[in-house]
Structure 1
Amino acid sequence: MVTDPVRYADGRLHVPSGPGLGMRLDPDRTEIARINMNADKHDIRQGGHWSANPNPPYASGGTLSGPTWTVRLKGATNQEIKDNFTYTAAARNKNAPAFTSPRPLTAVTTATGGRALRVAQATDDQMVHHYDVTVTDATTGTVVVSSKVLSEYFFRPRPNTLDVPVPAGATGTRYTADVRAVDAYGNASPTAALTFTQ
């Protein structure tokens, strides 16, 4: 269910967690509980081996990942049920993520001497899913990075920053970076921008 934990440069250990759904079916409704099954010491896989061989016990019951979704079957016909349906495109969450740091983007040197774009994680009323990242050579206009970078929401605790490697260029090359935080509904933050040199 989970893979090796990751130790970040700040020394904190981030443990992968597995999502799951618990469902209850009643004649008039279906209830869907979103469960985050946090890893514990017995269900971590390290170096190709479970920490409790051969079958790891799952002592962690997990936590709820927000309110339970309830799908109610209100109506006498299929059309009445559809008309009374709660979870529609029009009712979707419209709140976009936001960067709370005054400088959400910085250029950093990696341990191997390369360059990376460091992104301070944005916040959202539910969950930041990913970041749309574009890094462009400011002189030539060539896009050197165009990627969706997951926010690593599957780690607990979620890392405070993400490092996006920038391909090596000539010393002194100027880059412009544009980053938007996007939630699971597709709502996007305003673009954060940074200009930096190789």
Structure 2
Amino acid sequence: MYQDRTDISRINMAADKHDIYAGGQWSASWQPPYASAGTLSGPGWTVELKGSTGRQIKDNFRYTSAARNTVAPEFATATPLSAVTAPDGAAALRIEQARDDQMVHHYRVDITDTTTGTKVVSSKVLSDFYFMPRPNVLDIPVPDAVAGNTYEAKVVAVDAYGNASPEATLTFTR
């Protein structure tokens, strides 16, 4: 912190080897003390305090609701959804990850069995933004999918600011 600004460093505090979970076990002891102080996870942020009075500083503050990011995520292809069969033989909806100028946070996923009129999935699904590298696709299980039934999937990508992509749709038969 300085007189006229605050600099914020983005630090990945999960930089120790104990944070790796593979094969059902942690790779090392998860107890502190940690060997690492973290790693930089991107460029830092500077919050500037412009003005000589509290009112001027508040009026000049740039991180306000009016100045929020308004860029919506977008799907990279015209057909980002596909029906796939999971390794266990179950039906799944595959979503090719959308892109955003900052970060896709989650997807609103609705899947309806149009044969019966029953909604089988209605959920927010995190984009796995917390994994590096982020997976290119997400597979969403379609519970109790019946062979021969037709399903309609609707998916919307949403960023951390609530900006939403146009809806992607797919109709498929199990």
Shared fold per TM-score greater than 0.5: yes
SS of alignment partner, residue 110 of structure 2: strand
State the match for 2:89 in structure 1.
Answer: 113
Displacement of 1:150 in angstroms is 0.6
- SS in structure 1 opposite 2:166? coil
> Which residue of 2 is the match for residue 62 of structure 1?
39
Asked if structure 2 preserves the Cα contact closer than 8 Å seen for 1:108 and 1:118, the reply is yes
Encode CA deviations 1:12-57: one digit per residue, 9 max, x unaligned. xxxxxxxxxxxxx112221222233564645424444442676575
Q: Give the alignment's TM-score, normalised by structure 2.
A: 0.86
1:186 correspondence with 2:162: yes
Q: Is residue 31 of structure 2 the alignment partner of residue 51 of structure 1?
A: no
Q: Determine the C-alpha separation between the residues in 2 that align with 1:169 and 1:42.
A: 39
Aligned to 1:142: 118
Which amino acid letter does the alignment assign opposite residue 113 of structure 1?
A: G
Deviation for aligned residue 1:77: 3.0
Residues 54/146 of structure 1: CA separation in 2 closer, same or farther (3 Å cut): closer
Q: C-alpha displacement at 1:59, in angstroms?
A: 4.4
2:11 counterpart (21, 32, 35): 35
Percent identity, aligned pairs only? 59
| Paired position in structure 2 for 1:174 | 150
In structure 2, do the counterparts of structure 1 residues 45 and 165 end up closer, same or farther at CA, with 3 Å as the change threshold? closer
- Where does the alignment leave 5 or more consecutive residues of structure 2 unmatched? none
Distance 2:13 2:163 in 1: 26
Q: Aligned partner of 2:84: which letter?
A: V
Can you list the C-alpha shifts for 1:124-161, whole angstroms capped at 9, x where unaligned? 11111111111112234322111111110111111110
> Residue by residue, what CA displacement relative to the aligned partner does 1:100-140 show, whole Å, maximum 9, x if unpaired?
12321011111221111000111111111111111112234
- Structure with the higher fraction of residues in strand conformation: 1
Contact 1:136 1:145 in 2 (8 A): yes
What TM-score does the superposition give when structure 1 sets the normalisation length?
0.77
